[in-house]
């Protein structure tokens, strides 16, 4: 009937699990890993209940996939991975407190500064000429908030 499926059927789920984990090794992100774990678990269930109909197998795979991903996300929220640099992936926050020179004039409260090899948009409280030294005091998404170095506030 199903000439392309392996016998016994749990081998198909185990093969799918290994393939999904191999994809995880190529494109890491801890997503395919949990799908692979779910497929392996379905294969394990099939070793105990070999006559489980395929719609229930697929349903079990879906439930285990979602459940394992949600469980992993909850675990990460409760126990975040410690790091030596908490601002590593929050580049804008790394610039708070630093002083940069306004590259273009700030018009209507918006200007641009040069930070290393990139240009950042900066929001300021009023217009400033190019060349004004700005201290970064905050971040709003991809915009840096700055104030002129001599200003208080």
15-37 residue pLDDT tens: 999 999 999 999 877 789 999 99
CA distance 149 to 137: 11
My answer on whether 74 and 104 are in the same domain is no
My answer on whether 74 and 97 are in the same domain is no
Is the residue at 153 inside a domain?
no
Best mean pLDDT range from 53-57, 75-79, 136-140: 53-57
Question: pLDDT category, 117, cuts 50, 70, 90?
Answer: confident
Is the residue at 1 inside a domain?
no
pTM value?
Answer: 0.54
CA distance 151 to 133: 10
My answer on whether 14 and 58 are in the same domain is yes
> Which pLDDT score is estimated for 4?
64
């Amino acid at each position: 009937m199903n000439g392309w499926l392996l016998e016994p059927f749990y081998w198909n789920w185990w093969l799918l699990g290994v393939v999904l984990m191999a994809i995880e090794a190529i494109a890491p992100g801890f997503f395919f890993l949990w799908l692979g774990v779910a497929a392996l678990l379905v294969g394990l269930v099939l070793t105990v209940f070999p006559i489980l109909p395929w719609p229930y197998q697929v349903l079990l795979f879906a439930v285990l996939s979602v459940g394992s991903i949600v469980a992993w996300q909850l675990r990460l929220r409760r126990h975040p991975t410690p790091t030596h640099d908490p601002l590593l992936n929050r580049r804008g926050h790394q610039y708070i407190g630093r002083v940069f020179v306004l590259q273009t004039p700030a018009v209507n409260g918006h200007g641009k500064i040069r930070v290393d090899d990139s240009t950042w948009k900066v929001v300021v409280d009023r217009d400033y000429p190019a060349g004004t030294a700005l201290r970064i005091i905050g971040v709003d998404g991809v915009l840096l908030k700055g104030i002129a170095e001599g200003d208080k506030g």
